[in-house]
Structure 1
Amino acid sequence: MNLRKFLFALSFLLTIIRLSATAQRDSVALTTIIEKTQNYTTGHPIEKVFIQFDKPYYAAGDTIWLKAYVTAGLHIPSPLSKILYIDFINQQGILLNELKLQLVNGMANSFLPLPLNTYKRGDYRIRAYTRWMRNFDQAYFFNRTLSIGSTESNQVIPRITFKNSISEKTARIIADIVYKDQNGNPYANKKVNWRVMSDDQTIEKGRDQTDANGKLNINFLTDKVSALNTATVQTDLELDDKKLINKVFALETTPPDVDVQLFPEGGYLIDGIRSRVAFKALKPDGRGIDAKGNVTDNTGAVMASFDSQHLGMGVFAIQPENGKTYKANFTFADGTKTSIDLPTPRDEGINLSLNNSDADTLGIKIAANEAFFTRNQNKPFYVIAQSNGVICYAAQTNLKSPVYAASIPKSKFPTGIVQVTLFSVKGSPLSERIAFVRHNDLMNLSLRSDRQNYGRRQKVKMTVSAKNKELPAEGSFSVSVVDETLVPYDENDETTILSHLLLTSDLRGFIEKPNYYFNHPNSKTEADLDVLMLTQGYRRFSYRNIVSDRNPPITFLPEQGIEISGILRTNTGIPVSKGNVRLIIPDKSFSTQTQTDMSGNFRFANVLVSDSSKVTLNARDNPGGSNMVLTVTPFVTPPTSIFNNQTGYIANIDSAIHPYLENSLKQQNALNKTHTLEEVVIKDKAAPKKVSHSDFSTLQGLSIVADHTINGEQFKGCPVFFQCLAAQAIGLTSDGNNLYITRDYNAGTRTPVAVYVNGMATDYNYLQNINSDAVESVEIFLNDGLSGINRATNNKGVIEINLKKQPKGEKISKEQLADLLPKGYLVEFVPGGYDATRVFYAPKYDNPAAPRAGADLRSTIYWNPSIITDKTGAASFDFFNADGTGTYKAIIQGIDKDGNLGWYIYRYKVQ
């Protein structure tokens, strides 16, 4: 479906407005709300991203395989964007890698190796978005935490727990770490050096010894509270052979006790109105905990009793009385107790509630207390229900009695979240509730194998069947087959195309076990889902902003291809209007030219460039062209805020996924044996001295050793040097055209780092013209030592970029010198085209009984992101099992051309 068809279909949907049978004549206010909503949705269509991974977690040294789906409207493959960005961010908020994928029919697939020297043990945030999605709240980007475990030999498996107490001014940090070996034996009476670090700042350190159970206790008080948000606990466990085993843990800053939140239905309590109040009880790790208790008034009388029904969530009903206050008294599964005040009831008000228990209708109830009814009797009120930005129901009624009830056929809504809002005649939202409507309209997707039981390395033939109701469905699907013995995982905890596109993509915050609501739906899951709707935030669609015309500005247009843009100036900084800029792609023998506008801006749209292609921009062909300077507009990623204590992470990775890590270690050992080389002794002259800051008098006074040094090899082939510098500069944060020390930036200090190139002070524009391959090294100093640079330049910290030296003994001609110096009118760079993809390697065993050359230890047995069903809704594929025995699990999910979603799990045995 092309863009024009998509927008037409969207506009057509928006014109279908249903009024209830009791609704009276439309008022101006209701019409205004509907028209403004339609205009907003037409001008701000919503894109969503879902990514399927071949596994739920990984080990350092693995490769991640993935497929991305980008949808718009009612889940049709998006025609808006043709580029998807996927960021891999560590726990300190540093962007480690970025994939740029070309979307075809809203889909793309790729892979990402996890080299041991880059990806360490820890939790990583995967963030995916299109450029269009950046116009809206980042909370609705695709976000997922992926845990990466360690496969180091002689593995020490630790478990850490926190019992911290943190206030605004001081923090008591209490951590217990238990060290055990792979067999569960404790490392008793071992010396441990520990330190708590935030960036390069040491908050606390010590040296202690484990007890007989292998437990180490860390207990200290600090006033460096703000630094704890980025802190890690680093320990060195000393073994009998004096070998030190280093482990790093994210420091948890979550509350030490159970946290309880209360959510009155409709938004608030009202005197005299019986209302439901939902609650959510969370452990310090952000996951739910069972609770029970009662509600008492200020006289001690019990007004209600309750029990949680799912993951710490539950609901009770209460009718507040004027002049009374109320407390909810909780007893949690761990034996702890707490009491919290209910929100103060309003003296006057009207409330909206929903009854979602009927399969065919959604019940609406509007209740006003006596004070509100007296003041507003016979005044009109409006009820509007929308889903995915489309108004599916709108009604007007006059307040003729304190209670008004109606039923809306659920057939008016698509499957997904429905937002129902009560408005005053002035168009002000008064009360709101969200509900989940489920129809039996998901794709009937299934997998079947030619047998149920197989032998090791035996060939498996699978067939796919996809139907929309009874009609064949042509669609695109991704399939992952894993050895479930090596990769155990709770299906309820998975993020699937159903749970994400229909549920979590529209909600703020973490949803625990999202697939529970779709795995095996029944009356219990429906009731639990309704309580989730009562407790979870939904702010994607704000009527207050729409009615008051406070729509988000459109800063980023949808990308239809790679764009190269920038500005042409004279060397005095004056923009050059109607200047010529030529773009050349040498390896494609392609050349084109454009002219700048009145402000000196130029733009090349839909540039067809591969991932490693070099692009040259040249403005020499202008009068005075040798005195002109080209500046390329960099792609600045959204801020990568720290996600310390991101809910959903695995605190004790090594023990939680031990079977998988043990198998991964065997795989790596087998690979290392295969690639072992004979020792070679090389005799040569000592390597020449590398360029460093000490070679430049302007940088005298800096520390002899930099806080961080980046080898120039890490910039080799980098398209835009500044972008790669920002990504690899440890301890620094990029914002706009400047770099800042991360710990100061997070504390609110916005003083940029001073930047030097070969001892010369420079700025962002100069860095744009640096050839990445000419960089010898980059030295980062988090303070200026005794140099006085920061005081003189009003900066904080110093970066020195050392360019490679010309070899001694070679005379440099004027022409060579001119070639070495940056030319302002000429820019050569690799813009970073689409990341390449490759086919997942799966061995073939034509004769499974033949002698085995080596063990097949694969955990991902098969991965195929491009399963396409034909006009009959069928597809087939085959692969060979590995050596692992037990249960193999095949997961297929995807979308058809009409936006119907499908997900299915199939298991078979290997003996």
Structure 2
Amino acid sequence: MSLKKIALSLLMVTCFVAPALAQRDTVSLNTIITKTSKFAYSYPIEKVYLHLDKPYYSAGDTIWFKAYITADRHQPSTLSNIVYVDIATNQDSMVKVVKLPVTNGVANGNIILTPDVYKQGNYHLRGYTAYMRNFDNDYFYHKNIAIGNAIQSVVNTNIAFKTADAAGKQKITATISYKQPGEPALANKRVNWSITTPAGDEISKGKSTTDQNGLINVVLNENASASLKNATLTTSIELGNRRESLNKFALNAAVAERDVQFFPEGGELTLGVRSKVAFKAVNNNGLGINVKGTITDNTGTVVATLESQHLGMGIFALMPQDGKTYKAIITFADGINATYDMPRIKPAGITMAVYNSAADSISIKLSANEPYFKANQGKAYYIVVQNGGAIYFAAQTVLQTPVYSAAIPKSKFPTGIMQLTLFSERGIALSERIIFIKHNDMLNLTLTPDRKIYNTRQKVKLSVLAKNKTLPVTGEFSVSVVDEDKVPSDENAENTIFSNLLLTSEIKGYIEKANYYFTGKDQNADANLDILMLTQGYRRISYRNILTGKFPQIQLFPEQSGLEVTGMLRNNTGMPVAKGNLRMQIAGKNQLFETVTDMTGNFKFSKLNFPDSAQIVLNARNNVNSRNLMISVEGDSYQPPTKNPYVTDEVTDIDSTIKPLLLNTKRQYDNLHILKEVVIKATSLVRKPSHSDYGSLSGLPMMADQAVPGERFKDCPNLYTCLPSMLLGISAENNTLFFSKNVSNPNRKPIQIFINGRPMDYSYLNTFRGADVENIEVFRNDGLSSINKNYDSDGIISIITKKIEGTKISLAQLQEMLPKGNLLTYNAQGYGVTREFYSPRYDPLKQGAFGGDLRSTIYWSPKVKTDKTTGATFMEYFNADGKGTYRATIEGMDADGNLGRYIIRYTVK
């Protein structure tokens, strides 16, 4: 449905009123509907979902993904023609930004996880459009990606925490094991450890020696002077004459903090009104934990009991009485007790309860206590049900009795979250509730293999069939096949097209194991989903802002013209040049683009298509007095790194959690790694360039605090994105670099960057490739140089680029080669280069070297389209050498926004 059709339907919605509710219209209700429909029309909601080939990775892998960009009710978006996918470290330093063209609401791409760039750890993957950046980034696509590094790491570690009472105080101990892949435990090895805060400040440190089982015990809070919450434990082990740096372990799981929150239905408890109260018990990581308990009043009388039903959540009923206060006495699974005050009680009020268990309707119950009913009898009240500003039901009633009920057919609502709001006749929201409507109307999507059991390297034919109910449909789908023995996963915790587009993209806040509510494997899932709705808040729109006309400020419009190059043409006095001629060439393309500046000197080249880091040449020589002209270009606007809302999904112990994948990656690497004979004929010492070669930096300390050779940056397409992630303790924020330990300091100062001895802004690094770097040095203090004082900075980064050898030229030749103001050459960020997934073909008549095909992703296809007549298609590929269970997953949508997902498994022997 188009946005215009949605807007029209909103204005007609008042005729759909439940029989039990009065059908009298008012200006106030019309105002709510009209202003909300205007919001929905003016600010359509766009979403991005990424289907990945697998849930976690190893360094050396490739992340294969397909992006689904939707608007309205999950229909393929026609708003944005460019989608952005980026990945950052868990310290919020950007590593890679990929820009992709969108066609019919989809795009596909990949991110290569180069081992020397992607260290072992947790990474934050995001997907969004430029238009989505106008709104809260919590509604971007977010996913925590665990990446192990079996290639560079020679030691596997495992950590476990234990809490005990010691002399009345809590003693927290971490037990860490050390083992080399395929080898016995590392016994009698010296280990250094330290505990640091997120800012990089050291809390505690120590030394230990592994026992015969390769274990050490570290008492985490023995010398710690600060909380262990959000702290990190780092260890290094001595192996012969070298020290091996190991994983960093997040210590959130070690802290035995826990909390219980209570959520009265409708928002608040009301005196004398029986209400449902949902609760959620979580540990320090934000994960649900089981609890039992009682609700007692101030006389000690038990008025309710509670017990968690799913992931720490549950529900009970409570009727507050006059003169009573209430407390919850909670018992956690480990026997620890805690007491919590219940939420405040309104002395006078009206509440809305919603019952969503019936198959064909929802029931609404309005309950006003006696003081409120006496003061408001005969007044009008409105009930509005909406999602994203699209109103699906609106009705009015008059408060004639203290308790009033009505039923609304579920057929009025689509599948997904609905927000129900009770308004006073003055347009004030009095009570609010969100529910989830399930029609079980997803696409009937199936995958059928041509047999149930296969041999290794045998051809597989997968048939696809897509139907909407019984009618065949054409749609956009993606298929992933993985060796499940190498990539085991928890289906409940997976990020799927259902859990994302229907649930997590709609609600702010973390939802644990969101796909559990869609797998259909638990008969209590719908009841638990309703409890989840009671504990979450829908904040896509604010009625208060809508009714007062406070709409979002749109700074970035949907990118509908593909890649663009924009800028301004000026003369040497700085004045804009109107009607100026510009030409543009893209390296590697035999095309010439031309345009003319507007009356204010601005120019724009639109509908371009060029790869990432392409060299762009702009030429203004075809103008009168062209020697006096200057060209400036507007750089790309980047979305800065943000906190990962799904940081709770971070994997504390990567070595153990994804051990099957890491072992497989190590075997793959060993199969490929052949040591060749090296003959050293002569040696000579070659002096490497350093900061001391430049007078402006000569006062810096001789030894840098951190020195990184240019070889490390050879695969970096853009220093702007790579630098923060490849330098230790460096963070980027608002186009500025800081030391990570200073990020939370309000009086922090930036790091000053020098390129070949010349001061530069961080944004200038957009023009440099990693392959151009000779070396990079980081200085925490400026020695005798006074640089920090002169530039009001805190630290220096010196970047030295590679020198280009050349021949002597004349002065005239040099002048000709110098850049002119009317000619500008720079590297622009184009579309990411999309690789094709390699799927080998095997000849069954030829005996190959079996055992060498160790792929974990067996097959990936982001371009699966079903036939519009039959709804069918098929694909063929060959199995690898891994034996066991293979899992095939298909996801996608049709042109009408109907979503589909299906999983099958088959056996390889």
Q: TM-score, normalised by structure 1?
A: 0.92
Q: Which residue of 2 aligns with 1:111?
A: 110
* Counterpart mapping for 1:601-680 below 5 A: 601-621=602-622, 625-626=626-627, 628-643=629-644, 646-673=647-674, 676-680=675-679
Partners in 1 of 2:99 and 2:406 — Cα distance?
49
The 1:848–1:40 alpha-carbon spacing in structure 2 relative to 1, beyond 3 Å, is farther
* Counterpart mapping for 1:614-763 below 5 A: 614-621=615-622, 625-626=626-627, 628-643=629-644, 646-673=647-674, 676-681=675-680, 683=682, 686-687=685-686, 689-709=687-707, 711=709, 722=720, 730-749=728-747, 751-763=749-761
Q: Which residue of 1 aligns with 2:90?
A: 91
* Farther off after superposition, 401-410 or 626-635: 626-635
What letter matches 2:781 in structure 1?
A: N
Q: Which residue of 2 aligns with 1:844?
A: 841
Return the match for 1:11 from 4, 7, 11.
Answer: 7
Partners in 2 of 1:417 and 1:661 — Cα distance?
39
The 1:207–1:718 alpha-carbon spacing in structure 2 relative to 1, beyond 3 Å, is closer
The 1:405–1:820 alpha-carbon spacing in structure 2 relative to 1, beyond 3 Å, is farther
Q: Is the 8 A contact 1:492 1:514 kept in 2?
A: yes
Partners in 2 of 1:133 and 1:793 — Cα distance?
36
Cα displacement string for residues 761-794 of structure 1 (whole angstroms, at most 9, x for unaligned residues): 4457876777987654443333323322222332
Partners in 2 of 1:704 and 1:777 — Cα distance?
15
Q: Is the 8 A contact 1:457 1:848 kept in 2?
A: no
Partners in 2 of 1:893 and 1:16 — Cα distance?
35
Residue 475 (str. 1) matches residue 475 (str. 2): yes
Return the match for 2:886 from 866, 885, 888.
Answer: 888
Q: Is the 8 A contact 2:384 2:391 kept in 1?
A: yes
Q: Is the 8 A contact 1:40 1:546 kept in 2?
A: yes
Partners in 1 of 2:658 and 2:548 — Cα distance?
51
Q: Is the 8 A contact 2:850 2:881 kept in 1?
A: no
**Cα RMSD after superposing both structures:** 3.1
* Farther off after superposition, 656-665 or 217-226: 217-226
Q: CA deviation at 1:609?
A: 1.9
Q: CA deviation at 1:157?
A: 2.5
Q: Is the 8 A contact 1:510 1:648 kept in 2?
A: no
What letter matches 2:895 in structure 1?
A: K
* Farther off after superposition, 595-604 or 377-386: 595-604
Partners in 2 of 1:875 and 1:812 — Cα distance?
64
The 1:188–1:721 alpha-carbon spacing in structure 2 relative to 1, beyond 3 Å, is closer
The 1:292–1:172 alpha-carbon spacing in structure 2 relative to 1, beyond 3 Å, is closer
What letter matches 2:791 in structure 1?
A: T
Q: CA deviation at 1:34?
A: 0.7
Q: Which residue of 1 aligns with 2:347?
A: 347
Q: CA deviation at 1:587?
A: 2.5
Partners in 2 of 1:211 and 1:896 — Cα distance?
59
- Aligned partner of residue 701 in structure 2, secondary structure: coil
Q: Which residue of 2 aligns with 1:168?
A: none
* Counterpart mapping for 1:335-374 below 5 A: 335-374=335-374
Q: Which residue of 1 aligns with 2:518?
A: 518
What letter matches 2:741 in structure 1?
A: R
Q: Which residue of 1 aligns with 2:328?
A: 328
The 1:760–1:360 alpha-carbon spacing in structure 2 relative to 1, beyond 3 Å, is same
The 1:765–1:328 alpha-carbon spacing in structure 2 relative to 1, beyond 3 Å, is closer
The 1:636–1:203 alpha-carbon spacing in structure 2 relative to 1, beyond 3 Å, is farther
* Farther off after superposition, 340-349 or 252-261: 252-261
Partners in 2 of 1:564 and 1:730 — Cα distance?
34
Cα displacement string for residues 341-395 of structure 1 (whole angstroms, at most 9, x for unaligned residues): 1111111211111100101101111111112112111111111001243100001
Q: CA deviation at 1:710?
A: 5.2
Partners in 1 of 2:630 and 2:721 — Cα distance?
19
Q: Which residue of 1 aligns with 2:866?
A: 869
Q: CA deviation at 1:584?
A: 2.0
Q: CA deviation at 1:248?
A: 2.3
Q: Which residue of 2 aligns with 1:49?
A: 48
Q: Which residue of 1 aligns with 2:38?
A: 39
Residue 279 (str. 1) matches residue 275 (str. 2): no
What letter matches 2:319 in structure 1?
A: Q
Partners in 1 of 2:122 and 2:277 — Cα distance?
35
Aligned length: 896
- Aligned partner of residue 435 in structure 2, secondary structure: strand
The 1:585–1:849 alpha-carbon spacing in structure 2 relative to 1, beyond 3 Å, is closer
* Counterpart mapping for 1:487-526 below 5 A: 487-520=487-520, 523-526=523-526
What letter matches 2:692 in structure 1?
A: S
Q: Is the 8 A contact 1:719 1:830 kept in 2?
A: no
Structure 1 alignment gaps of length 5 or more: 166-170
* Counterpart mapping for 1:63-212 below 5 A: 63-152=62-151, 154-161=154-161, 176-181=174-179, 187-197=186-196, 202-210=202-210
Cα displacement string for residues 847-866 of structure 1 (whole angstroms, at most 9, x for unaligned residues): 16724355222221111111
Q: Is the 8 A contact 1:769 1:824 kept in 2?
A: no
Q: CA deviation at 1:527?
A: 0.3
Q: Which residue of 1 aligns with 2:856?
A: 859
Q: CA deviation at 1:718?
A: 7.6
Partners in 1 of 2:164 and 2:764 — Cα distance?
47
Instruction: Determine what percentage of the aligned residue pairs are the same residue.
Output: 46
Return the match for 1:832 from 829, 840, 844.
Answer: 829
Q: CA deviation at 1:26?
A: 1.8
Partners in 2 of 1:620 and 1:734 — Cα distance?
38
Residue 904 (str. 1) matches residue 902 (str. 2): yes
Q: CA deviation at 1:223?
A: 8.7
Q: CA deviation at 1:821?
A: 5.7
What letter matches 2:176 in structure 1?
A: V
Q: Is the 8 A contact 2:641 2:733 kept in 1?
A: no
* Counterpart mapping for 1:808-819 below 5 A: 811=808, 813-815=810-812, 817-818=814-815
Partners in 1 of 2:707 and 2:189 — Cα distance?
34
- Aligned partner of residue 400 in structure 2, secondary structure: coil
Partners in 2 of 1:579 and 1:714 — Cα distance?
43
Cα displacement string for residues 590-616 of structure 1 (whole angstroms, at most 9, x for unaligned residues): 233334455544322222223353211
Q: Is the 8 A contact 1:16 1:392 kept in 2?
A: no
Partners in 2 of 1:529 and 1:500 — Cα distance?
14
The 1:651–1:440 alpha-carbon spacing in structure 2 relative to 1, beyond 3 Å, is same
Q: CA deviation at 1:714?
A: 6.6
Q: Is the 8 A contact 1:632 1:768 kept in 2?
A: no
Cα displacement string for residues 739-772 of structure 1 (whole angstroms, at most 9, x for unaligned residues): 3334323333353333434334445787677798
- Aligned partner of residue 647 in structure 2, secondary structure: coil
Q: CA deviation at 1:469?
A: 0.4
The 1:357–1:321 alpha-carbon spacing in structure 2 relative to 1, beyond 3 Å, is same
The 1:317–1:682 alpha-carbon spacing in structure 2 relative to 1, beyond 3 Å, is farther
Q: Is the 8 A contact 1:252 1:645 kept in 2?
A: no
Cα displacement string for residues 537-567 of structure 1 (whole angstroms, at most 9, x for unaligned residues): 3211221111111111111111121121234
Q: Is the 8 A contact 1:583 1:615 kept in 2?
A: yes
What letter matches 1:362 in structure 2?
A: I
Q: Which residue of 1 aligns with 2:542?
A: 542
Q: Is the 8 A contact 2:142 2:644 kept in 1?
A: no
Partners in 2 of 1:62 and 1:76 — Cα distance?
32
Q: CA deviation at 1:102?
A: 1.0
Q: CA deviation at 1:636?
A: 3.1
Partners in 1 of 2:454 and 2:745 — Cα distance?
58
Q: CA deviation at 1:121?
A: 1.2
Partners in 1 of 2:130 and 2:262 — Cα distance?
36
- Aligned partner of residue 321 in structure 1, secondary structure: coil
The 1:731–1:372 alpha-carbon spacing in structure 2 relative to 1, beyond 3 Å, is same
* Farther off after superposition, 187-196 or 480-489: 187-196
Partners in 2 of 1:244 and 1:697 — Cα distance?
36
Cα displacement string for residues 260-279 of structure 1 (whole angstroms, at most 9, x for unaligned residues): 11111111111111111111
What letter matches 1:701 in structure 2?
A: G
What letter matches 2:608 in structure 1?
A: V
Partners in 2 of 1:397 and 1:189 — Cα distance?
78
